[in-house]
Homo-oligomer: A and B are copies of this chain.
């Protein structure tokens, strides 16, 4: 386990895997109807359930109240994919239970009472699920989780009813994209019960050719089946991307990667959008063995996000961020 953006293996098409389980406590209204007192009660119930567990996984987790986290850090957590943007905005009375390496994070009273999230680098949905499931078991053992024999786990939104499981894979698909593949397959993907969208989730545009593939079906399917199916679809994307890569004009692609490398290593002003697109080129370069001295492109990518920058260098105007970003990238490359 470790940071999702620092894979041990070299960056490849599958960047990271994410499992999210939505759970609620029986007899308590959903968060959008709760008052501050009720929210705090849930927070403490879940905190205690973890604290009182003998499971070694539970020992790794820390309870943190969101009001103790400064604004910049809250949004930097969104950029690191640890919490949702809505949760960062509506942080009052909220709390999280999180592991040191941030691979496990439980959001309390977001859309549901409990949202367990596990992140892994690469295509490791099964591994991420095993961790999420272990935490789920700890909670189910000591809390009265809302479960219906016919429907499965009860959730605030009907799209999560059943398993309450969302399995997502972050994929780097520059050549699939360049060949018009994403648009072409989107109807098919939807029909198969999946969605594919930008790196920062719903409504965000795909940057640097990074896409999130997620399962949509939670009813009439087991958690295991959902994970196997998502893994299979992700593998199909990976295979297509690999095929496109094999058909490449090596010289042109090398030229493109190295130009982007040269710009990043020398630019004095760098917007977040340009960085993303250039890092996309760098990532192709790494996966084709053209660029060898960059180990964690996603770490660079994430650490240059606006709030991640401000977390490190203090509050800044967008213009100053573009300069600070360029300086940081030059020193990182």
Contacts from A to B (Cβ < 8 Å): 251-252, 254-255, 258-259, 261-269, 323, 326
**Please, how many angstroms separate the alpha-carbon atoms of A266 and B291 in the complex?**
11
Copies per complex of this chain: 2
Is B267's CB under 8 angstroms from A262's CB?
yes
Is A262's CB under 8 angstroms from B266's CB?
yes
Is A326's CB under 8 angstroms from B255's CB?
yes
Output the nearest chain B residue to A269 by Cβ-Cβ distance. Answer: B255
Please classify the interface of chain A as helix (H, G, I), strand (E, B), loop, or mixed, using the class held by over half of its residues: helix
Beyond A251-B269, A259-B263, A259-B266, 6 additional contacts (C-beta under 8 Å) are: A251-B323, A252-B269, A255-B268, A255-B326, A261-B266, A262-B262
Nearest chain B CB to A126's CB is how many angstroms away? Answer: 40
Q: Which 10 A-B pairs have the closest CB atoms?
A: A262-B262, A262-B266, A255-B268, A258-B266, A255-B269, A254-B268, A262-B263, A259-B263, A259-B267, A262-B265
**Please, how many angstroms separate the alpha-carbon atoms of A252 and B323 in the complex?**
10
**Please, how many angstroms separate the alpha-carbon atoms of A323 and B259 in the complex?**
14
From A262, A264, A267, residue with most partner B Cβ within 10 Å: A262
Nearest chain B CB to A256's CB is how many angstroms away? Answer: 9
Out of B255, B266, B268, B269, which one reaches A267, CB within 8 Å?
Answer: B255
Output the nearest chain B residue to A258 by Cβ-Cβ distance. Answer: B266
Output the nearest chain B residue to A323 by Cβ-Cβ distance. Answer: B251
Nearest chain B CB to A261's CB is how many angstroms away? Answer: 6
Report 26 cross-chain contacts, Cβ distance below 8 Å, ordered by A residue: A251-B268, A251-B269, A251-B323, A252-B269, A254-B268, A255-B267, A255-B268, A255-B269, A255-B326, A258-B266, A258-B267, A258-B268, A259-B262, A259-B263, A259-B266, A259-B267, A261-B262, A261-B266, A262-B262, A262-B263, A262-B264, A262-B265, A262-B266, A262-B267, A263-B263, A265-B266
